[in-house]
Chains A and B, each alone.
Chain A
Amino acid sequence: MGCLISTMDDKESKNSRWSKLHTDLLVLVLKKLCFQDIIRFKAVCSSWNKAAQSYISSPSYSLHQAPCLMRQTHHKDGSFPHTLFSFTEKKIYILRDDITRVDSESCIGSSHGWMMILRKSNIPVVVKNPFSLQRFKLPTVENLQITLYIDTAILLSDPFRSKNSNLSVVVVLYGGYKRLAFCNVAGEAWTQFFEARNGDEIVKSIQSHNGQLYVLSRDFCVQVWDFNHDPFPTKTRNLKPSPLLFIGHYPAYKYIRLAYLIESMGELLVVLRIVYYKLNHTKTVNFHVIKLDFKGEKWEKVENLQGRALLVGCPSISVSIKEFPEFEDNSIYFLDDNYNLSIGDMGVYNMGNKSIKPFDELDKLQETTSPKPSFWIVPNPW
């Protein structure tokens, strides 16, 4: 970026000291700003722009950013842009409308700030940054017995902040939630590494944590896969906790149980979302939270989130209320994230009084329905 500092007269040279504030001090200020303010900070002057760039590239950046809600909605003028809702600022931002191709592409979630976009082609997954539009070209699937239908896709780490960006791994769940395959972001081919052998092993949720893959199966067993050793991942843990406690009476013909695996403060949690399901009408009616005990031997009920809120979806994120007071304590935030089954409601569940309500200040957002799933994203403004 070019930088032309024009000559200044006495008054301005006295008053422009702020533009010369040392980068380290500017970064201390940046750490206290939300994502949207950082974007505006970047546009103030060239030295502030450099400081913001340096801060954004640092590993500590994403630790202080609150997740936002992203979805695609029909705009008055007929376009179909992605919108970003910030809980911090309580504002909706309309992003550009060319992030995905409407007819052939669909974003099913985000991973480390990157959009995971599915498309109907022999390159079925695109990893894209919604702000810079930078994308990673992933391999074709010719070597896999892959149906063109992928259930979900995640990144195990941020390609720009990994020690070796070429090793950043993409994992896809496909074949009716039965198979897992992976590739490196700069790789040549996809490789299948898991296939469910029976109904119990069908995958309910996958999550990344510390660069590893966590897999929850229908029988509530948990696998942990490590991808650091070429060429094939290794299963480092295979937890088979004793069968789940009785959670509640939800007959399968009326209710769907969605499960979200989520790591929070060193604990492995599963959020169960109970959805009452009729053909033209779905409604989220209840939540249960369970955690794996320290030894990984059994699931225990969690009654209170103690200073946290859980944002479930793709991805599921645990937030500390102390760090992000814009979220409500002891609550679960859920979205219309499951468009396969037309689960279209969003809101907040309070674990204390077991009530569900719509998001505050989000009337505009909830008026519009979206044919594509909504998701959480920790903005990464490359």
Chain B
Amino acid sequence: MSYGRKITLKSSDGETFEVDEAVGSESQTIKHMIEDDCADNAIPLPNVTSKMLSKVIEYCKKHVETPKPDDNDELKAWDADFVKVDQATLFDIILAANYLNINSLLDLTCQTVADMIKDKTPEEIRKTFHIKNDFTPEAEEEVRKENQWAFE
């Protein structure tokens, strides 16, 4: 089912993707470019790789195709599966959703990150996201003392 015209998106590594205008418009960034009449040729997206762009298009297509997206349990389950990716991919999706200004995807991915943080100690959070503890020993001690009770 496709109404309206098609637009072409071009990833940072030169791959092109043809999508319905409605699907592309899930991204406020792309939507503005269409409105500003910049969409006659391929819309260049230098900050999004082809791998990420195809992921994002998959998300937008699904959301455009689903009736009553705010109240749809099947869509919620689909979304939950969509974000079952490794944390490196999750990171890239967040950046892509932010650059392309897709609110629902940004909200979904940030909630996923929040769920990965909940109830974990700082050390466990660092392990999950491969973050290095870059506090000086003094700074670290200060943080611990301030809030010892939250770390149990």
Chain A min CB distance to B62 (Å): 22
In the complex, the answer to whether A131 meets B130 with C-beta atoms within 8 Å is no
Q: How large is the interface on A (under 10, 10 to 19, 20 to 34, 35 or more residues)?
A: 35 or more
**In the bound complex, do residue B135 and residue A8 qualify as a contact, i.e. CB atoms below 8 Å apart?**
no
Q: Which residues of B contact A25 (CB under 8 A)?
A: 94, 98, 110
Tell me whether A44 and B131 are in contact (CB under 8 A).
Answer: yes
B122 proximity list for chain A (CB < 8 A): 40-41, 43-44
**A5 contacts the other chain (Cβ, under 8 Å)?**
yes
User: What number of residue pairs across chains A and B have CB atoms under 8 A from each other?
Assistant: 112
Q: With an 8 A cutoff between CB atoms, is A283 at the interface?
A: no
Q: Would you give the 0/1 interface string for A93-133, flagging 1 where the beta carbon is closer than 8 Å to chain B? A: 11110000000000000000000000000000000000110
Indicate which residue in B113, B131, B147, B148 contacts A29 across the interface (CB closer than 8 Å): B113
Residues of A within 8 Å of B126, CB to CB, are 44-45
Number of residues in B with C-beta < 8 Å to the partner?
A: 39
Say if the beta carbon of A19 comes within 8 Å of chain B: yes
Q: B47 near A: Cβ within 8 Å?
A: no
Of chain A, the residue at the smallest CB distance from B114 is: A32
Could you say which of A15, A32, A39, A45 contacts B150, with CB atoms under 8 Å apart? A39
Measured between beta carbons, the chain A residues less than 8 angstroms from B28 are none
> Is B119 within 8 A of A89, CB to CB?
yes
A18 to B129, CA, bound (A): 6
Residues of B within 8 A of A16 (CB): 130-132
Q: Which residue among B87, B98, B135, B136 has the maximum number of chain A CB atoms within 10 Å of its CB?
A: B135
CB of A1 within 8 Å of the partner chain: yes
Chain A contacts for B130, CB-based, 8 A? 12, 15-16, 18
Q: B91 to chain A: which residues have CB within 8 Å?
A: 17-18, 21
Contact A37 B147 (CB under 8 A): no
**CA distance in complex: A120, B140 (Å):** 38
Asked if residues B149 and A29 are in contact (CB atoms below 8 Å), the reply is no
Q: Which residues of B contact A45 (CB under 8 A)?
A: 126, 131-135
* Contact A41 B117, beta carbon cutoff 8 Å: yes
- Known contacts A2-B136, A18-B130, A381-B147: does B111 contact A40 (CB below 8 Å)? no
Q: Is the CB of A40 within 8 A of B151?
A: yes
Complex contact B132–A19 (CB within 8 A):
yes
- Among residues 101 to 152 in chain B, which have CB atoms less than 8 Å away from a CB atom of chain A? 106-107, 110-111, 113-114, 117-122, 125-126, 129-136, 138-140, 142-144, 146-151
Residues of A within 8 A of B (CB): 1-6, 8, 12, 15-19, 21-22, 25, 28-29, 31-34, 36-37, 39-46, 48-49, 84, 89, 93-96, 131-132, 381
- Given A2-B135, A32-B111; 16 other pairs, CB 8 A cutoff: A2-B136, A12-B130, A17-B88, A18-B87, A18-B130, A19-B129, A29-B110, A37-B119, A41-B117, A43-B122, A44-B133, A93-B149, A94-B149, A131-B147, A132-B146, A381-B147
